[in-house]
Structure 1
Amino acid sequence: MSSWRVLGLISGTSMDGIDVAVGELSLPGGGVAELRPGGFTEVAYPAELRRRLLAALPPAGVDAREFCVLDTEVGLAFAAAARAGIAEFGEVDLIASLGQTLYHWVEDGRARGTTQLGQAAWIAEATGVPVIADLRARDVAAGGHGAPLAGVLDALWLADRPRPAIALNIGGIANITVVGGPEPLAYDTGPGNALLDAAAAQVTGGTAASDLGGLIAAGGQVHEELLARLLADDYYREAPPKSTGKEHFNADYLARAVRGLDVSGPDLLATLTELTAATIADACHRHGPREVIASGGGVHNPTLMAALRERLRGDRPGTADVEVHVSDDLGLPAAGKEGYLTALLGWLTWNGLPGNVPGTTGADGPRLLGAITPGTAPLRLPEPAREPVRRLRITHPTTPMEAE
């Protein structure tokens, strides 16, 4: 087989649903991989499951029974999402799942372990297709952070862009990949939507899971004292590669930050929007990029994107103007990027190729990622690829689009 149709599944730290993307991946030669996007969608979690997942996040505790139940129910939800993706976009040869991260254990600046819910056996049983899952643990075992794994896609996809270039993903946690140095570098910059979502739920009495369109923040003013408190977090001064999550940036963290301050709802959202923009922009400016290519749910928040563009202007000493694009401009749909990333990671493992970039995760070296759960048929892996992949070309049915 010269090409494979791969379905990618992931639910991000916002826990609002399951991203599903189907892509055709092939190795035409010359160190080039081709990805032809075949469609993407998002399948919402059942409301009660999402409520229980959010309730299980640190600092809450989860007993063994609840952990087992959540792992099973997330697996069943991912299986249903995979079936929905196949029904909409056609049959696939392989499924890759990044699951639902529940806890990312980082201690003394080092990742010690990581837990993703969503047992792959449920997906394989529901679809009959082999599933590659548990894609982060091997990188952690090799001394890496297991995140952000987006670095492998970004390093290949942006290989031909003017350098240095930065790929930015604004999910619950924001992360960047810097392409154009001695080796790719990627890390979590801090909260993307995590604190914004927590604040929106608080301000609206739980009727809104997010500040849709940034409308609440647009009606407020930045509270400078609160912003200074938030920016004092030691995480922003740690050296990359590094990773974080909702075990750090959560509702309790926010409650401690605002203690003793009189902050209105709109001002709280405006301040948190500025925090996300400031921490992303500060991280980007350290690398002197010519452009930032953004994706993730945050690109649909015009208030956040306006604040980010303002922060990326070169009006401070030692900085230059940085162009901000959305990944759709380069042929990779922003809404489906993480699903396509997951598909790519599974396809790399399937073909005997490493799925991590040591410079982006801090691992001791390249590693094959994940564990394979067979489908209905006997498991037959292809012959391992004979050469490493150095570039990723995004193609479409009518017009090839290279990142040029």
Structure 2
Amino acid sequence: MRILGLISGTSHDGIDGAVVDIDAEGEGLAARTVHRDTTPYPPALRARLVAALPPAATTLADLARLDTEIGQAFADAAAAQIAAAGPVDLIVSHGQTVFHWLDGAQVRGTLQIGQAAWIAERTGSPVLSDVRIRDITAGGQGAPLASRLDALLLAGRGRVGALNMGGISNVTLVGPGPADPVRAFDIGPAGALLDAVVSGRGLHPSGYDEGGEIAATGTVDRELLDQLLEEPFYRQPAPKSTGKELFHAEYVAAALSRRGREVEDADLVATLTELTVRTIVDALAPEELAELFVSGGGARNAVIMAGIARGLPGTQVRLSDALGIGADEKEAVLMALLGYLTWHGIPGSVPSATGARGGRLLGTLCPGSGPLRLPDPAPAPTRMRMRGGVG
């Protein structure tokens, strides 16, 4: 089955896409990425999106326009991917998260915009969207959904983990045996605070600390770091999730105000980078992992990666590329996998990871140009093998 996975993460900079061939292979799955690409948001659209995000106020009119225009941007990205890779059987669109509603430790709702009907109309393909809410209605966090992909990729490797660093860092922990429950949770900010500072202060034209170059020139402000580490979320037990509703530019401004003096740009970036490292190391050191596979934009930050390796000396820290899945394409491949599972009647959530009462079929299906014809339900896979791909 050929599936196009689409997602825009918490960096809000564009749409990652991957066309993936997924087939049954014994008790597992075999997958191959045949095409991948990233489509940047038009600058004006991204600016309006960022301006509408919490804690800023917005209107229903703004939300309706963004839902349409982001849906059209996803439709354009899907059409371009299909033109390059050929027809697909299904498109899975995560859309753009604009709000994740936390009430204490419980998630009450989540909102991803980018109306899927625009994609279906443009491509003629059926589209699966709104993939998080079904897990939330069953009492789960709706995140990290990557736990399903990670559990399949890491099966049989021992006590290992998969770390993704986008705007927020999250981890999946897999035990050495089939009886060990898969665990997953959000750790804290990865790029969320860093990008807010770099972008807000105009420190790099990309809007992020490319390669960790700015952080490498700064000195960590230990007093500010200690203050930031007092955030209660870090001590909250798993499963747990968070987002830019908590970690945003005003969060940094409030911390600096409490600090009582200005911090130089490079030193602030170095401190926020060390915050990412410390929260990850503090969360993972007790796990004594043999291997940790890293993906997401933070995997390209040399300062973060070096800090994690130093903080976890007994763990082999590697990019997810070692598993056959590129660090920049993993979330789009995840979307494709969730589509395959729903299409074949297989729950896509992992209750031990999200905290839900049970596994659930994820997403809402929008028909393409023809009627939906789903196959008979298939058995749940126990592993997944990446067969190589576009590299």
- TM-score grouping bracket, smaller chain normalisation: over 0.9
| 1:157-172 correspondence to structure 2 within 5 Å | 157-161=153-157, 163-172=158-167
Tell me which residue corresponds to 2:385: 393
* Deviates further, 367-376 or 34-43: 34-43
SS of the residue corresponding to residue 239 of structure 1 reads: coil
Tell me which residue corresponds to 1:239: 237
Inter-partner Cα distance in structure 1 for 2:206 and 2:332: 25
| 1:88-99 correspondence to structure 2 within 5 Å | 88-99=84-95
- RMSD of aligned residue pairs (Cα, Å): 1.3
Tell me which residue corresponds to 1:179: 174
Is 2:297 aligned against 1:297? yes
Is 2:253 aligned against 1:255? yes
| 1:270-281 correspondence to structure 2 within 5 Å | 270-281=270-281
Tell me which residue corresponds to 2:343: 350
Tell me which residue corresponds to 1:103: 99
Inter-partner Cα distance in structure 1 for 2:255 and 2:375: 53
Is 2:49 aligned against 1:53? yes
- Report sequence identity in percent: 51
| Structure 2 unpaired stretches of 5+ | none
One-letter amino acid of the counterpart of residue 22, structure 1: V
Tell me which residue corresponds to 1:141: 137
| 1:20-59 correspondence to structure 2 within 5 Å | 20-29=17-26, 31-59=27-55
* Deviates further, 303-312 or 252-261: 303-312
* Deviates further, 252-261 or 233-242: 252-261
1:397–1:241 distance in 2 versus 1, CA, 3 Å: closer
Aligned-residue offset at 1:396: 3.0
One-letter amino acid of the counterpart of residue 47, structure 1: P
One-letter amino acid of the counterpart of residue 380, structure 2: P
SS of the residue corresponding to residue 356 of structure 1 reads: coil
Deviations 1:217-247 (A, max 9, x none): 1100000011001100000000000000000
Inter-partner Cα distance in structure 2 for 1:110 and 1:357: 17
Q: How many correspondences in the alignment?
A: 385
Inter-partner Cα distance in structure 1 for 2:220 and 2:388: 43
Inter-partner Cα distance in structure 2 for 1:132 and 1:343: 10
Q: Is contact 2:34–2:389 with CA below 8 Å preserved after alignment?
A: no
One-letter amino acid of the counterpart of residue 280, structure 1: I
Q: Is contact 2:33–2:389 with CA below 8 Å preserved after alignment?
A: no
Tell me which residue corresponds to 1:11: 8
Deviations 1:94-123 (A, max 9, x none): 100111000000111000000001111000
1:206–1:214 distance in 2 versus 1, CA, 3 Å: closer
Q: TM-score, normalization: structure 2?
A: 0.96
Inter-partner Cα distance in structure 2 for 1:277 and 1:199: 17
Tell me which residue corresponds to 2:222: 224
Tell me which residue corresponds to 1:317: none
Inter-partner Cα distance in structure 2 for 1:188 and 1:383: 34
Q: TM-score, normalization: structure 1?
A: 0.93
Tell me which residue corresponds to 2:198: 200
Q: Is contact 2:153–2:323 with CA below 8 Å preserved after alignment?
A: no
Among 210, 213, 216, which residue is 1:215 paired with?
Answer: 213
One-letter amino acid of the counterpart of residue 174, structure 1: S
Aligned-residue offset at 1:37: 1.4
Inter-partner Cα distance in structure 1 for 2:201 and 2:109: 34
Inter-partner Cα distance in structure 2 for 1:71 and 1:160: 41
Aligned-residue offset at 1:379: 1.2
Inter-partner Cα distance in structure 1 for 2:213 and 2:360: 43
One-letter amino acid of the counterpart of residue 267, structure 1: D
Tell me which residue corresponds to 1:150: 146
Aligned-residue offset at 1:27: 1.2
Deviations 1:121-157 (A, max 9, x none): 0000000000000000100000001111000000111
Deviations 1:228-272 (A, max 9, x none): 011000000000000000000000001001111331000000001
SS of the residue corresponding to residue 195 of structure 1 reads: helix
SS of the residue corresponding to residue 359 of structure 1 reads: helix
* Deviates further, 388-397 or 339-348: 388-397
Inter-partner Cα distance in structure 1 for 2:233 and 2:193: 15
Inter-partner Cα distance in structure 2 for 1:47 and 1:157: 36
| Structure 1 unpaired stretches of 5+ | 314-320, 399-404
Inter-partner Cα distance in structure 2 for 1:223 and 1:329: 35
Aligned-residue offset at 1:371: 0.5
SS of the residue corresponding to residue 355 of structure 1 reads: coil
Deviations 1:174-219 (A, max 9, x none): 0000000621000000001000101111332684411112111110
Tell me which residue corresponds to 2:370: 377
